């Protein structure tokens, strides 16, 4: 599907959709959204780009193999669960900064946990779809 319109549109849609996915990720703690949906939206953004420009282009753009996002995300989630144990609390206890940050709201371990989920979802879904579309 190499159409000029889609190609042009995807150039603008990719950053917009990624931004949107991050928005969804961050608001998840208060409003509908979260790491899982955010990750899916982000992967759809990349897939749209791949449809318009071809997979090699998207791969170039991403620089790293999406598979690498999986261990990073898993590690982040796990560490955010482990972190309270250094403060002598049980595994996965939520720890929060006292002050709120503008736009995002409270920052705590749950946020990093969600970011981890976000990365794993992007990594896993893109790995699956890229691999299938590359195979013959």
Partner 1 sequence: MLIALLFPFLAAALLALPVREKRDLIVRLSALVPLGLLSFFIYNSQQTPTMQRNAWLRDMPVSLDLYFDGLSFLFILLITGIGTAIFVYAGAYMKGHAYSQRLMAFLMLFMGAMLGVVLSDNLIALFVFWELTSISSFFLIGFNNENEASRKSALTALAVTGSGGLVMLIGFIGLGEVAGTYSIQEIIAQRDAVVNHTAYGWITGLILFGAITKSAQFPFHFWLPGAMKAPTPVSAYLHSATMVKAGIYLIARLTPALGDTPFWNQTLLVLGGVTMLYAAFQSLFHKDMKSILAYSTVSALGILVFLLGIGTSASILAASVFILVHGLYKATLFLVTGIVDHETGSRDVSQLSGLRKVMLPVAIAGLLAAISNAGIPPSFGFIGKDLIYEATELKGHLLTALAVLTNIFLLVAGFLAGWKPFAGPLQPEHQKVHLPEMAMWLPPLLLASLGILFGLFPQLIEKTIVAPVFQSISGTAFTGHLALWHGFNFVLLLSSITIVGGLVLYFIIKPSTALNSFIVKSEKFGPKVILTGIANGFDLFARLYTKFFQNGYLRYYIIFIMLTLIGLLGFEMWHYTTLETNNRLATEVTFYEGVTIFILLVSVVIIVFSQSRLASVAALGVMGLAICIVFVFYSAPDLAMTQFTIDTLTVILFVLVLYKLPKFIPLRFTPHHIRDAVIALGFGALISILTLEVLTKNVNREISEFYAANSYVLAKGKNVVNVILVDFRGADTIVEIAVLSIAAIGVFSLLKLRLPKKERIE
Binding site for partner 1 (CB under 8 A): 24, 28-37, 40-41, 43-44, 47, 67, 70-71, 73-74, 77-78, 81, 91-92, 94, 96, 106, 108, 110, 113-114, 116-117, 120-121, 123-125, 127-129, 131-136
CA atoms of 75 and 129, how far apart (whole Å): 23
Please report how close the Cβ of residue 111 comes to partner 1 at its closest, in angstroms: 8
For the CB of residue 9, give the shortest distance to partner 1 in the complex, in Å. 17
Instruction: Note the Cα 10 to chain centre separation in Å.
Output: 18
For residues 60 and 133, which CB has a smaller minimum distance to partner 1 in the complex? Answer: 133
With beta carbons less than 8 A apart as the criterion, state whether 125 and 42 touch: no
Identify the H or E element spanning 23: helix 4-27
Closest distance of CB 63 from partner 1, Å: 18
Cα distances from 104 to residues 61, 67, 76, 119, 132, in angstroms, run: 28, 28, 19, 18, 36
> Residue 70 CB, nearest distance to partner 1 (Å)?
4
Q: Which is nearer to partner 1, 57 or 76 (CB)?
A: 76
């Amino acid at each position: 599907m190499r159409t000029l319109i889609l190609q042009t549109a995807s150039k603008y849609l990719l950053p917009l959709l990624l931004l949107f996915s991050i928005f969804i990720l961050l608001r998840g703690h208060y409003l509908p959204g979260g790491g899982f949906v955010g990750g899916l939206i982000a992967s759809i953004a990349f897939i749209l780009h791949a449809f318009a420009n071809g997979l090699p282009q998207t791969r170039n753009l991403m620089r790293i193999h999406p598979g690498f996002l999986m261990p990073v995300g898993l590690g982040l989630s796990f560490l955010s669960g482990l972190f309270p144990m250094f403060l002598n609390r049980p595994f996965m206890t939520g720890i929060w900064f006292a002050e709120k940050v503008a736009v995002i709201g409270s920052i705590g371990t749950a946020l990093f946990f969600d970011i981890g989920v976000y990365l794993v979802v992007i990594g896993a879904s893109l790995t699956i779809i890229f691999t299938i579309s590359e195979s013959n």
